[in-house]
A = this chain, B = another copy of it.
């Protein structure tokens, strides 16, 4: 497998990463200084997301490039969910000493390629030694002042809509967990999500009242919108897009496809609420309505039945 990171050392590894990442437009200072410097129009949007080996990814199931794509996608999707455009990423990369340099370079390439899909750049980071691989990506993006879309603005009567694939990654994980490698499209959806980045700013421009990226599960994440907005989010299961791939595979694997669609998180689809009567942006599909609490608790219901909060999402400590 060639050299290890211990052989080339921290600074040797930084030099190689730096060669890989040449100058990016609008970035005054990139990799190789104490911090990166860039011009940020509008307000700055900032987030971070960690991927832990064995927890968020298995080295058997994901190539280094996949881990790079996924880790960049997880953070950039959070930026998009505010209605903002991702601009730059920095990564804290914790690696065992015997990690191969080739593996690291492939990961950096994957991260950098994913960033390029949204016009963002990987501009710096930090390397540390750890027995477990931990890839923690922080992202910044820009949004017009006062226009960021939060979780708390949904109002009774609003339309609930989704952009991007939902349930594909969860299906891919089921396929891999049962020892299969196909259908390839589902496995690849798990290995490399394809978040609908541009739908985030698109939703903002269309007047979205609230938005979130689905990273823990559709119901679990809509619940955040419901609680923050103090409303009930009612989904209509018949409206939720279900690709042929998903229904066919669900029959073959004897799984209710709604488990994937309502509970899956790794696709980083975007769900948003829009004022009733607003024209939905092209990539969004209506899946439900926001309803007044009428004295009941905030939450999510499917076809009018309140969801208990169990089995529809992922909690990292349970």
Expressed in whole angstroms, the minimum distance between the Cβ of A215 and any Cβ of chain B is 9
* Alpha-carbon gap, A81 to B35, bound state (A): 8
* Alpha-carbon gap, A152 to B131, bound state (A): 34
Question: What interface size band does chain A fall in?
Answer: 35 or more
**Of A25-33, A58-66, A243-251, A276-284, the one touching chain B:** A25-33
In the complex, the answer to whether B33 meets A150 with C-beta atoms within 8 Å is yes
Q: Which of A136-177 contact B (CB under 8 A)?
A: 136, 138-141, 143, 145-146, 148, 150-152
* Alpha-carbon gap, A40 to B43, bound state (A): 6
**Of A121-129, A231-239, A295-303, the one touching chain B:** A121-129
Cβ contacts A67-108/B at 8 Å (1 or 0 each): 000000000001101101000101111110100000000000
In the complex, the answer to whether B124 meets A130 with C-beta atoms within 8 Å is no
A242 within 8 A of B: no
In the complex, the answer to whether B28 meets A36 with C-beta atoms within 8 Å is no
In the complex, the answer to whether B140 meets A34 with C-beta atoms within 8 Å is no
In the complex, the answer to whether A136 meets B40 with C-beta atoms within 8 Å is no
In the complex, the answer to whether A6 meets B136 with C-beta atoms within 8 Å is no
Which residues in B have their C-beta under 8 angstroms from that of A138? 46, 48, 90, 92, 138
Residues of A within 8 A of B (CB): 5-6, 8-11, 13, 28-29, 32-40, 43-52, 55-56, 78-79, 81-82, 84, 88, 90-95, 97, 123-132, 134, 136, 138-141, 143, 145-146, 148, 150-152, 211-213, 228, 315-318
